[in-house]
Amino acid sequence: MNKKTFVVLGFAAALTSGVVFAAPVHNNNVTEDEVLAAQQAWGAALLQISQDYTEGGLEKATATATAVLDQAYGYAHGPVLFKPTLTSGDTTFRTTQEGALAYFVGGNPDFPDSGFALKGWQEYHFENAAIYINGNMALTMGNVMLTNADGDVTTVDKTWGFKKDDQGDLRIILHHSSLPFSAD
Amino acid sequence: MNKKTFVVLGFAAALTSGVVFAAPVHNNNVTEDEVLAAQQAWGAALLQISQDYTEGGLEKATATATAVLDQAYGYAHGPVLFKPTLTSGDTTFRTTQEGALAYFVGGNPDFPDSGFALKGWQEYHFENAAIYINGNMALTMGNVMLTNADGDVTTVDKTWGFKKDDQGDLRIILHHSSLPFSAD
Amino acid sequence: MNKKTFVVLGFAAALTSGVVFAAPVHNNNVTEDEVLAAQQAWGAALLQISQDYTEGGLEKATATATAVLDQAYGYAHGPVLFKPTLTSGDTTFRTTQEGALAYFVGGNPDFPDSGFALKGWQEYHFENAAIYINGNMALTMGNVMLTNADGDVTTVDKTWGFKKDDQGDLRIILHHSSLPFSAD
Amino acid sequence: MNKKTFVVLGFAAALTSGVVFAAPVHNNNVTEDEVLAAQQAWGAALLQISQDYTEGGLEKATATATAVLDQAYGYAHGPVLFKPTLTSGDTTFRTTQEGALAYFVGGNPDFPDSGFALKGWQEYHFENAAIYINGNMALTMGNVMLTNADGDVTTVDKTWGFKKDDQGDLRIILHHSSLPFSAD
């Protein structure tokens, strides 16, 4: 160890006579890569529901959407803060899984939805404006562009909150989606 | 995108037609490298106090120890859970900075300490048994070996808890040190 | 201690021969009361900017808005995920304090805003749909109703993310606001 | 709302024309009560293992100790930072459940333990020096006094780290126990 270059005030400086041995490390924190993968998986899942609707009808699409909600959202552990793009009035917020499923595939008389995921989505594209990672949570905000079967692109402003669960999987616990503001 | 290989149930799978643009990322989480650097800095600071005592006497050592406590420990934000190696009885736990300073450099009539950091420490060495990282906190447990001026090595069992503050610096908020158990 | 009623498997059960002495407690977690107070303070601050604009003009309103951003938002520590109600296009997301200030009081040639906080707001009202608290962060989603000088009420869908800093103050690190979806 | 008493700089001040409606709240944070209950449960579990050993022999004690480790410790999710009171040398740190079980009930040829929980413990008593709560983790430091069948009291310096899991149960992820320092 070279004591001459040692600076007490630089607490985080790496100076050492000590050697660090490898130790098992347990790390619960979210990484940026996990966040980006979770976004991609959300997009892929949306396209899958659309494809399953085309190929297998509402029953198949509903099964797929249910699986997506089970796996990708945190409804099993409590309310999810979900404001879908096209909701309004008394059913604006979908804090239960039933409400979320209704939004994606429709068919629930308690909700006015026609099924957002049934619109034949073909492509998705993300442009994150910023990402905030804090412990086992991560927040993202940005644009999502979705392309339908006619090639029309819908752009939405989207915020997601993810939480890593005990198994190490990210789950969506917040999702606020809105159409861009138009002064018209 | 290759829909053929797409699997809905693999939520975290990276599948994509989407391209992710670079976005500013704010990440408050502790990393393993930061933890290892903080351990090294603690060892280096201990040696510095010893050296300052030799070269500049108690006054200089006290100034250095105070700086180390200000920078490396979290006393400014509340009690620190500190059980030093050689304390016992009513002054076992040093939850205030005054008690921690007394342990390192002695000279406080309210504490029986002779000054742990004044013992002419020359080298330090860490062997972590395990590291646990969770959000803005990290915990380590393992052995620390300290070598004094005579070349004698003291081994202690040591647990640290670190918390990253708003400025991104790790601070010790837990420190339990004990001599190895001996059945004698 | 009554061993007869003791149940090992009920780990969290409070059974005891032990007495717990009061100990200093350091708690960094966000509480629901803090979240509700922070929402109210945001509403009050918006009204204050409006009032200061009426009474003291743009200069006074800008000074107040700057103070609000300094105190209530987390721009000092990195990007804030802010999508204001009335933004669109290239300036949809205001991840810097400059962009946020422009939205509230206008007057910045780099942003097209006329000043959302200058609209003579008289009252605010919150209806949370759900609150999610996790460590030093809290998320809220719900409606905010704002009443202007003419008594007209604007309702928005609003999501906030708060983070408690080292001083124990909540700061907004996420803010997504959007007008209700209309099928028209 | 009384604008006269409104202070912008008091961000957290509760001032309002707004009324907050009840909303579902999801809160993952550890509370002080949960921490104290978990400590008591640990003490109660230790006594239960002792009692089961007396009444049912090693087999019953081992079954109970296994249940306690399954429920109260976090070994299922990774290494636990565990330094028991009476360990030393190569088996000082028990980062695996096998090592922890050996410490409590002995009988494992890979560990030199005679079974700490088999010592006929009758009473336990905690005196916390300080508690640190941060998100889904809590740390405690203080003394634990254990009374055996002869009425002899053993005092140890004990540090615990708890993490709340997805089911809302606290699990021990750090445990450093040591006999008080003696200058003799």
CB count in 10 Å sphere of residue C35: 23
Of B64, B125, B135, the CB nearest to A19: B125
* Of D170, A135, D90, nearest in space to B135 by CA: A135
A26 touches D at CB < 8 Å: yes
Contacts of D165 in chain A (CB under 8 A): 166
B53-62 long-range CB contacts below 8 Å, 24 or more apart?
Answer: B53/B105, B53/B115, B53/B117, B53/B118, B53/B120, B54/B120, B58/B105, B58/B107, B58/B118, B61/B105, B61/B115, B61/B117, B61/B118, B62/B101, B62/B105, B62/B107
Taking residues A133-140, what's their average pLDDT?
96
CA atoms within 13 A on the CB side of B125: 11
- Tokens standing for B80? 């620190």
Mean pLDDT of chain C: 89
For residue B88, the distance in angstroms to the closest alpha carbon of chain D comes to 6
pLDDT given for residue C166 in this prediction: 87
B62: its two tokens: 């006290």
In this prediction, residue A21 carries a pLDDT of 52
Tokens of A151: 């090639």
A41 has pLDDT over 60? yes
Residues 146-165 of B with CB under 8 A from D: 157, 159, 161, 163
pLDDT band at residue A43 under the 50/70/90 scheme:
very high
C-alpha to C-alpha distance for A30 and B27, rounded to whole angstroms: 9
CATH code for the structural domain at C32-178: 3.10.450.50
- The arrangement of strands across the sheet holding B25-27 comes to A81-83, A170-178, A153-164, A137-147, A123-134, B25-27
Give pLDDT, residue C3. 31
For the stretch B147-169, pLDDT in tens is 999 999 999 999 999 999 988 99
Residue type, position B114, single letter:
S
User: Are residues B179 and D178, on separate chains, in Cβ contact within 8 Å?
Assistant: yes
- Return all residues near D174 (Cβ < 8 A) that are at least 6 apart: B132, B139, B141, B159, B161, D80, D81, D82, D139, D159, D160, D161
pLDDT greater than 60 at residue A8: no
Q: In Å, how far is B13's CA from the nearest CA of chain A?
A: 6
Nearest CA in chain B to C165: B166
Q: Which residues of A touch B15 (CB under 8 A)?
A: 40-41, 44
Residue A45 has pLDDT above 70, yes or no: yes
Instruction: Give the pLDDT confidence score for residue A12 in this predicted structure.
Output: 43
- The rounded Cα D77 to chain-centroid distance in angstroms is 16
Considering only CA atoms, which of B168, B79, C165, C101 is closest in space to residue D12?
A: C165
CA distance A174 to chain B (A): 16
What does the pLDDT average to over C26-32?
Answer: 94
* More confident position, A70 or D183: A70
Write the DSSP assignment of A110-134 as a string of letters. TS----GGGS---EEEEEEEEEEEE
B157: nearest CB among D83, D139, D174 = D83
Confidence of residue C11 (pLDDT cuts 50, 70, 90): very low
Q: At what angle are helices B97-105 and B32-72 packed, to 10 degrees? A: 90
N-to-C CA span, chain A? 69
Could D26 and A135 be called an inter-chain contact, meaning their C-beta atoms sit closer than 8 Å? Answer: no
Q: What is the pLDDT of residues B28-75, one digit of tens each?
A: 999 999 999 999 999 999 999 999 999 999 999 999 999 999 999 999
Residue D60 CB neighbour total at 10 angstroms:
15
In this prediction, residues C143-167 reach a mean pLDDT of 96
How many angstroms separate the CA atoms of C122 and C107, rounded?
22
Q: Which helix (H) or strand (E) holds A50?
A: helix A32-72
The answer to whether the CB atoms of C78 and A132 lie below 8 A apart is yes
Instruction: Please tell me whether residue B51 adopts helix, strand or coil conformation.
Output: helix
Question: What predicted TM-score, i.e. pTM, was given to this entire model?
Answer: 0.88
Confidence (pLDDT) at D3: 30
CA nearest to B44, candidates B126, B167, B103, B113: B126
Distance CA D17, CA D11 (A): 15
Cα angle B103-B104-B110, degrees, rounded to a multiple of 5: 35
A-contacting residues of B 72-131, CB under 8 Å? Answer: 72, 123-131
pLDDT of amino acid D16? 41
pLDDT of residue A184: 67
Asked if B132 and D87 come within 8 Å (Cβ–Cβ), the reply is no
pLDDT of amino acid B21:
52
Break chain B into its structural domains and give their ranges.
32-178
CA distance D61 to D45: 11
**pLDDT tops 60 at residue C5:** no
Cβ within 8 Å, pair C26-B166: no
- Between β-strands D153-164 and D123-134, what pairing exists: parallel, antiparallel or unpaired? unpaired
Could you say which DSSP state residue A75 is in? G
Contact: A135, B134; criterion CB under 8 Å: yes
Pick the residue with more confidence: D119 or B22?
A: D119
Residue identified by tokens 């979900």 is A82
- Residue D140's H or E segment, with its range, is strand D137-147
Rounded (5°) CA angle B100-B104-B109:
75
Q: DSSP secondary structure string, C148-173?
A: -TTS-EEEEEEEEEEEE-TTS-EEEE
Alpha-carbon distances of D58 from D55, D85, D87, D109, D148, rounded to whole Å? 9, 21, 21, 15, 18
Of the pLDDT bands very low, low, confident and very high (cuts 50, 70, 90), residue C183 is confident
Which of B29, B9, B36 has its CA nearest to residue B131? B36
- What is d(CA A80, CA D70) in angstroms, rounded to the nearest whole number? 30
Sign of CA dihedral C151, C153, C154, C156: positive
